[in-house]
């Protein structure tokens, strides 16, 4: 490729609507152009990066016996009605009608399509196990796209679906896929990726992992134990607390607490620590606006996703009306109408012998509240958010760290949710019909590209790993208006291409500053600078974008030096 012919501008100034670095650099470097909120066109450099990521993914999926297919983007709603997701999924699923008035959906994920294919293709146990995958456009009408390719509405995703006759076989395959994912991220040069336990959300199923790039701009919150191997999305992290210092009992006493409506105020007023109080957090079910009150230890917070999973329904923060009988600021377990209100006790309250809690009466609290003595036996739930320094649910040490991450991939053990709802069966060895069990495995291609850029850039541009760089080498010709540098640059360009090195040459007669600045935005790992200054000594300059290597090389040895460097850079990323 020639810079003189490359489509797309490279900008000096940071676009106004870019708030994260990878977004700004990918716009400035001419990788992407926004068409709509969360919808982007990929320009040649951007497309080359994603194509290389796709190639790596294909190789690794094929290596674990995947078979590539291509499902349609537009699917009949009937399939989604079979699985139940036509109604259970919200507005992010785009629903449309064709000219005959038939309901259609834009595929946001393809479990239904996979089962539609597999239920006819795998009616005998002898076909199992198998995995099918595709690389294809997904559309999800996200409520809030942001951050360039980090969170978009239309994107390319690798999604894979495996089918098994036993849970053990699924688990074996799941482990192979886990390893394949680690290889994919390593080969793509995404260094700081970890696998965490996750909540399976609308996908259903039990065991699932998310592959997270650790970065401050990540939208997911992770709980990581510094003492053992435990790592989880905070949504899936059990909250464990130590109440061994709170064993003294007191008599239940009604005390006036005028205008003390927050935990902090009440605790200060009564001279009690916040962790000896009982906080009420009020939600309402979306379906019927009925109230759900979760009691947690006063120093903790309720995690809505965990609450949702516990309640088994969508909920939202409550609007407390006078008719509800709920006294905002003074809510306590004693005397709540449990016929109308679902009352939950978080297990952070278990074992505390004397709590401060609301009295359900304006300006009054109780002290000395003991859940089991004063309220009765309850089954505690886990709805509190894990906290920094909190106790690891696996090793029991107070060594949880909270970090942010971007989800670049996920793997799920789905079980039989889709095969049962969509009537997919096979005949086993004994001639009886069985439901197969499934796993599914996703990777967002564009998000991975943006993640690598986010993780690997400097103030001038992306520092691409050679495996996914738009070009492996870039020839910077200074004084391309002069005969000798122009000729040497062109000869090198021809030689590199012939030798199989993906090369872009800046053959424009522009100033050195422009050449170098735009080269930095292209981010090719290997750079050859051809200039009159070096040519006077018969040399060219060989550098790497990450500045690790900078040396003079005789023109005649340049090709060999590039080939050696290319092999070295690939080897660093492709080692097992």
Residues near RNA, by CB under 7 A:
9-17, 19, 28, 34, 36-38, 90, 92, 108-109, 138, 140, 142-147, 157, 159, 198, 200-203, 208, 219, 304-305, 308, 314, 316, 407, 410, 412, 442, 444, 460, 478-479, 481, 509, 511-514, 516-521, 529, 531-534, 541
- 428 contacts 123 by C-beta, under 8 angstroms: no
Of 118 and 315, which has the nearer Cβ to RNA? 315
| 115 alpha carbon, distance to own chain's centre | 25
CB of 357: closest distance to RNA in angstroms?
A: 25
CA dist., res. 143 & res. 89, Å (int): 13
- The torsion angles phi and psi of 13, rounded to 5 degrees, stand at -95, 150
Of 37 and 67, which has the nearer Cβ to RNA? 37
Of 184 and 352, which has the nearer Cβ to RNA? 184
Of 145 and 392, which has the nearer Cβ to RNA? 145
Pairing of strands 291-297, 66-68: unpaired
Of 455 and 520, which has the nearer Cβ to RNA? 520
CB of 107: closest distance to RNA in angstroms?
A: 9
CB of 304: closest distance to RNA in angstroms?
A: 4
CB of 35: closest distance to RNA in angstroms?
A: 9
CB of 52: closest distance to RNA in angstroms?
A: 20
CB of 476: closest distance to RNA in angstroms?
A: 8
- The torsion angles phi and psi of 158, rounded to 5 degrees, stand at -90, 120
How far CA 492 is from CA of 480, 495, 499, 510, 529, in Å, comes to 14, 5, 10, 19, 11
- 226 closest CA partner among 390, 401, 386: 401
Of 497 and 517, which has the nearer Cβ to RNA? 517
211: which residues sit within 8 A by CB, 6+ positions away?
181, 185, 193, 194, 195, 407, 408, 409, 410, 411, 443
The DSSP secondary structure of 332-401, one letter per residue, reads: -STT--TTTEEEEEBGGGTT-SSEEEEEEETTEEEEEE-IIIII-----B--BPP-TT---TTT--S-EE
CB of 41: closest distance to RNA in angstroms?
A: 13
Of 11 and 98, which has the nearer Cβ to RNA? 11
CB of 31: closest distance to RNA in angstroms?
A: 13
CB of 512: closest distance to RNA in angstroms?
A: 3
556: which residues sit within 8 A by CB, 6+ positions away?
538
Element (H, E) at 551: strand 550-554
CA dist., res. 119 & res. 113, Å (int): 10
CB of 534: closest distance to RNA in angstroms?
A: 4
- 54 contacts 158 by C-beta, under 8 angstroms: yes
How far CA 478 is from CA of 280, 296, 461, in Å, comes to 69, 67, 20
Of 93 and 188, which has the nearer Cβ to RNA? 93
Of 152 and 224, which has the nearer Cβ to RNA? 152
199: which residues sit within 8 A by CB, 6+ positions away?
208, 233, 235, 236, 305, 306, 309
CA dist., res. 520 & res. 463, Å (int): 8
CB of 508: closest distance to RNA in angstroms?
A: 9
CB of 29: closest distance to RNA in angstroms?
A: 8
Of 352 and 558, which has the nearer Cβ to RNA? 558
Of 198 and 503, which has the nearer Cβ to RNA? 198
CB of 144: closest distance to RNA in angstroms?
A: 3
Of 137 and 249, which has the nearer Cβ to RNA? 137
Q: What is the SS3 string spanning 216-284?
A: CCCCEEEEEECCCCCEEEHHHCCCCCCCCCCCCCCCCEEEECCCCCCHHHHHHHHCCCHHHEEEEEEEE
CB of 151: closest distance to RNA in angstroms?
A: 7
- 462 contacts 23 by C-beta, under 8 angstroms: no
Other residues' Cβ atoms within 10 Å of the Cβ of residue 394: 15
How far CA 213 is from CA of 13, 172, 309, in Å, comes to 28, 25, 25
Of 118 and 203, which has the nearer Cβ to RNA? 203
Place of tokens 């983007």: 73
CA dist., res. 270 & res. 255, Å (int): 9
- 234 contacts 301 by C-beta, under 8 angstroms: no
CA dist., res. 198 & res. 185, Å (int): 19
5: which residues sit within 8 A by CB, 6+ positions away?
none
Of 38 and 465, which has the nearer Cβ to RNA? 38
């Amino acid at each position: 490729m020639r810079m003189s012919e490359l489509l797309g501008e490279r900008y000096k100034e940071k676009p106004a609507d870019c708030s994260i670095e990878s977004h700004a650099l990918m716009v400035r470097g001419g990788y992407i152009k926004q068409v709509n909120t969360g919808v982007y066109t990929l320009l040649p450099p951007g497309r080359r990066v994603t194509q290389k990521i796709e190639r790596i993914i294909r190789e690794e999926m094929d290596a674990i016996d995947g078979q590539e297919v291509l499902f349609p983007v537009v699917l009949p709603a009937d399939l989604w009605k079979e699985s139940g997701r036509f109604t259970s999924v919200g507005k992010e699923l785009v629903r449309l009608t064709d000219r005959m008035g038939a309901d259609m959906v834009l595929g946001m994920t393809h479990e239904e399509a996979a089962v539609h294919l597999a239920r006819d293709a795998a009616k005998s146990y002898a076909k199992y196990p198998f995995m099918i995958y595709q690389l294809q456009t997904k559309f999800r009408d996200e409520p809030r796209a942001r951050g360039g390719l980090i969170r978009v509405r239309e994107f390319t995703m690798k999604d894979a679906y495996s089918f098994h006759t036993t849970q053990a076989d699924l688990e074996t395959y799941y482990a192979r896929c886990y390893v394949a994912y680690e290889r994919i991220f390593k080969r793509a040069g995404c260094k700081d990726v970890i696998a965490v336990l996750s909540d399976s959300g609308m996908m259903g199923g039990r065991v699932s992992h998310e592959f997270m790039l650790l970065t401050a701009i990540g939208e997911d919150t992770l709980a990581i134990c510094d003492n053992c191997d435990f790592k989880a999305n905070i949504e899936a992290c059990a909250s464990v607390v130590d109440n061994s210092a709170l064993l003294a009992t007191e008599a239940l006493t009604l005390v006036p607490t005028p205008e003390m409506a927050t935990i902090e105020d009440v605790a200060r007023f009564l001279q009690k620590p916040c962790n000896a109080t009982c906080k009420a957090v009020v939600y309402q079910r979306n379906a019927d606006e009925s109230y759900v009150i979760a009691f947690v230890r006063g120093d903790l917070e309720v995690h809505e996703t965990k609450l949702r999973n516990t309640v088994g329904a969508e909920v939202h923060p409550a609007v407390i009306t006078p008719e509800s009988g709920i006294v905002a600021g003074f809510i306590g377990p004693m005397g709540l109408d449990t016929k109308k209100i679902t009352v939950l006790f978080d297990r952070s309250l278990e074992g505390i012998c004397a709590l401060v809690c609301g009295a359900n009466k304006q300006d009054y609290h109780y002290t000395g509240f003991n859940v089991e003595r004063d309220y009765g036996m309850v089954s505690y739930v886990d709805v509190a958010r894990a906290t920094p320094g909190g106790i690891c649910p696996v090793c029991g040490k107070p060594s949880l760290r909270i970090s942010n991450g971007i989800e670049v991939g996920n793997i799920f053990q789905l079980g039989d949710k889709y095969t049962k709802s969509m009537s997919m069966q096979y005949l086993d060895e004994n001639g009886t019909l069985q439901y197969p069990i499934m796993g599914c495995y996703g990777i967002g291609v564009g998000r991975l590209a943006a993640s690598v850029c986010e993780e690997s850039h400097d103030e001038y541009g992306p520092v691409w790993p050679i495996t996914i760089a738009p070009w492996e080498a870039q020839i910077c010709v200074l004084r391309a208006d002069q005969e000798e540098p122009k000729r040497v640059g062109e000869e090198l360009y021809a030689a590199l291409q012939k030798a199989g090195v993906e090369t872009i040459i800046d053959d424009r007669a522009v100033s050195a500053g422009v050449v170098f600045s735009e080269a930095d935005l292209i981010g090719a790992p290997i750079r050859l600078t051809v200039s009159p200054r070096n040519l006077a000594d018969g040399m060219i300059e060989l550098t790497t974008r990450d500045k690790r290597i900078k040396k003079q090389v005789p023109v005649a040895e340049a090709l060999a030096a590039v080939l050696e460097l290319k092999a070295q850079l690939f080897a660093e990323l492709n080692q097992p």
